[in-house]
Amino acid sequence: MVADATDGVLESARAWLAQDPDAVTRHELAALIDQASGTGEGSVTPEAAAGALAELHSRFDTRLEFGTAGLRGEIGAGSNRMNRVLVAQAAAGLAAYLLEKAQPGVTPSVVIGYDGRTNSDVFARDSAEIMAGAGVRAILLPRLLPTPVLAFAVRHFDVSAGVMVTASHNPPRDNGYKVYLGGAHQGSQIVAPADGEIAAHILRFAAERSVLDAPRRTDYQVATDEVVDSYIIATVADVPRPEAQVSSVYTAMHGVGWETAQRVFQNAGFDAPACVAEQIAPDAAFPTVAFPNPEEPGAMDLAFARAREVGAEIVIANDPDADRLAVAIPSAGPGSEGGWRRLSGNEVGYLLGWQAAEHARAAGIGGTLVCTIVSSPALRAVAGDYGLDFVETLTGFKWVSRVPGILYGYEEALGYLVNPGTVRDKDGISAALAFLSLASELKTRGSTIADRLDEFTARFGHFASDQISIRVTDLADIARVMALLRESPPTKIGGVPVERIDDLLGGFGDLAPSDVLRIRLADGSRVMVRPSGTEPKLKIYIDASSTEGSVAERRASATGRVSALAEGMTLLIG
């Protein structure tokens, strides 16, 4: 039986090696095969052979699953890694799907973008060549660009689909493949059943053909800078010229945001931010951060140092593909980092939502404010106060962007959709501009973002949030925790009785099935538990609010309850 398993993985590895067009991953895989089979030069210890065999099983016993988040994983050889073979199979499968769905006599089309991660440009060109070879009209963006530009390009070029090669804020060794659909989908990310149908085409191609047999054409179209210019024009179109300039610091987190962001700020009339020089240019190694995610501890330390140096009023950070935004403001209070406090995604989210509601009222229009189920209930309060509709969706902008009549949407993981007429995805650049505009409006009134947060508490109540993020090395650990919570649900958390638990695994109301537990407590607070969709993490979201007493009393009440619940969940999960 062991010999059969060994023979099977070696056979899979050799078949993969035979079709791999990448010299780097070919060399890597050939060395593993030689070590595992003992056929290489020199002697191989039993321990080395066993280690190589275990590595082959890790790479070939399964494959990266294509789903509503597309593909995402570590770069390397094998079906369970990101590489040119896997990407070629994905491109061929997506092309087959687009051809299948095309109307008679209509040639399907795709626009492809890429960021600065390792092999992003290679994966993008492979995709363009294979799409074109399959009979799909392919357009490649002119150079590495932010994800929001690709999302914009899907509608701008009126294509059938879009592909963005990026792993966003994942660890440096990762890359990914994100798919959007045009037409009736208006440039939103894929959802079911499209994900399953595309996956079936990918698996069919992988089972029946070598990627070396896929027809390729190099005469695909390369877009000009006109698409970037058009994105910038559309992004600044509805933003008023600033009456007061705001001193800011910007970091691209070693990503691709700066070139486009600086042009957006300039065209909108804002002074150029002071840059974090060490992080401003694309660098696939992400040398100054442990994780290229502005939510992670230490990721914004260089930005805070630069802000202290220039006396900035606000810090702006995009993640590496610039679809997320982080903001920090001066603070000497609790939670400050060297005189700066990172605002939570919820704080930025409900401030921008309030701004959107005010603009809608001034324009005399209605619409819908949208957030995900794990985001703060604060946006619901804003919508109610302004007579706007409110919708909660499952996590992910593939759901947020599809809500009819959307005016604005956000998710607490630093994602904001402030311009649904331009981009149907989170956009860290347009959100940064909207936040700068808000700061400028406040400054003309002699006010600050900190003051605005207090105004929010006074008007709508204080909404406190916290998140516990548990990173694992074995994904089975997450499944075990979720199973335990379902089999032995808690009756109290942090001393507060549990009133109800909504298990979304079988769907709930208008929400599609999702591996999420929503725990409602007797004092009106809420705990959400779910696996991350993009990283090996278990995520726990905690929310509480207060409308009683002064601003300080409301803040103290809500934050105290959140702290107690966080302690209770930590004890519960272990």
SS3 string, 142-175, reads CCCCCHHHHHHHHHHCCCCEEEEECCCCCCCCEE
Q: Please give the mean pLDDT across all residues of the chain.
A: 94
pLDDT digits (tens, 9 = 90+) for 228-273: 999 999 999 989 999 999 999 999 999 999 999 999 999 999 999 9
The answer to whether residues 250 and 391 belong to one domain is yes
Same domain flag for 179 and 309 = no
Q: Is the pLDDT of residue 172 over 50?
A: yes
Domain boundary among 460, 484, 514: 460
Average pLDDT over residues 522-550: 91
| Residue 378 placed within a domain | yes
**Does the pLDDT value for residue 1 go beyond 50?**
no
Name the least confident of 145-149, 364-368, 505-509: 505-509
pLDDT digits (tens, 9 = 90+) for 352-379: 999 999 999 999 999 999 999 999 999 9
What is the rounded average pLDDT of the residues 503-519? 91
Task: Give dist(CA 490, CA 387) in Å, integer.
Answer: 37
Q: What is the pLDDT of residue 362?
A: 96
Q: How confident is the model at residue 69 (pLDDT cuts 50, 70, 90)?
A: confident
Domain boundary among 224, 244, 268: 224
Q: Is residue 323 part of a domain?
A: yes
Q: What is the dihedral of CA 17, 28, 202, 137, to 10 degrees?
A: -100
How many separate domains does the chain show?
A: 4
Domain range enclosing 29? 1-61
Looking at residues 386-415, what average pLDDT do you find?
Answer: 96
Contacts made by residues 141-145, CB under 8 angstroms, sequence distance 24+: 141/111, 141/112, 141/113, 141/114, 141/223, 141/227, 142/222, 142/223, 142/224, 142/225, 142/227, 142/228, 144/114, 144/115, 144/116, 144/120, 144/256, 144/282, 145/113, 145/114, 145/115, 145/228, 145/256, 145/260
Tell me the mean pLDDT in the region 530-539.
Answer: 82
Residue 120: name the closest of 174, 179, 187 by CA: 174
> Residue 380 falls within a domain, yes or no?
yes
Q: Bridge partners of 251?
A: 317
Evaluate whether residue 348 is within a structural domain. yes
- Express each pLDDT in 450-479 by its tens digit: 999 999 999 999 999 999 988 887 778 888
Residues 86 and 199 grouped into a single domain: yes
pLDDT of residue 39: 76
Q: Specify the range with the lowest mean pLDDT, choosing from 116-125, 478-487, 546-555, 556-565.
A: 478-487
Q: Is the pLDDT of residue 4 over 80?
A: no
249 and 374 part of one domain: yes
The reply to whether 316 and 203 lie within a common domain is: no
Q: What is the pLDDT of residues 315-325, one digit of tens each?
A: 999 999 999 99
pLDDT at 379: 98
Examine the domain organization and report whether 320 and 444 are in the same domain. Answer: yes
Q: What are the residues facing 528 on neighbouring strands?
A: 518, 541
Within-domain flag for 47: yes
Which tens digit of pLDDT belongs to each residue from 26-44? Answer: 999 999 999 998 876 667 7
Task: Give the pLDDT confidence score for residue 476 in this predicted structure.
Answer: 83
Q: Is the pTM of this model over 0.85?
A: yes
Residues 421 and 491 in one domain: no
Indicate which CATH number applies to the domain containing 145: 3.40.120.10
Enumerate the β-bridge partners of residue 75.
82
Residues 159 and 244 in one domain: no
Within a domain: 199: yes
The CATH number that applies at residue 487 is: 3.30.310.50
Residues 537 and 418 in one domain: no
Last residue of a domain, one of 224, 242, 272: 224
**Of these residues, 109, 168, 344, 525, which one is catalytic?**
168
Whether 441 has a pLDDT exceeding 50, the answer reads: yes
Give φ, ψ of 434 to 5 degrees: -60, -40
Residues 417 and 356 in one domain: yes
Are 75 and 83 within 8 A, CB to CB? yes
168 is catalytic: yes
For the segment 509-517, the average pLDDT, to the nearest whole number, is 90
In Å, how far are 3, 48, 59, 554 from 52, measured between CA atoms?
Answer: 15, 6, 11, 58
pLDDT at residue 2 in the model: 44
**Is the confidence at residue 3, as pLDDT, over 90?**
no
Confirm whether 356 is domain-assigned.
yes
- Tell me the C-alpha to C-alpha distance, in Å, between residue 296 and each of 72, 74, 169, 290, 486: 19, 19, 10, 8, 29
pLDDT at 5 over 60: no
Of the candidates 229, 123, 137, the one whose C-alpha atom is nearest the C-alpha of residue 177 is 123
416 and 306 within one domain: yes
Same domain, 395 and 289: yes
Token couple for 135: 């009979």
- Pairing state of beta strands 161-165 and 109-114? parallel
229 in a structural domain: no
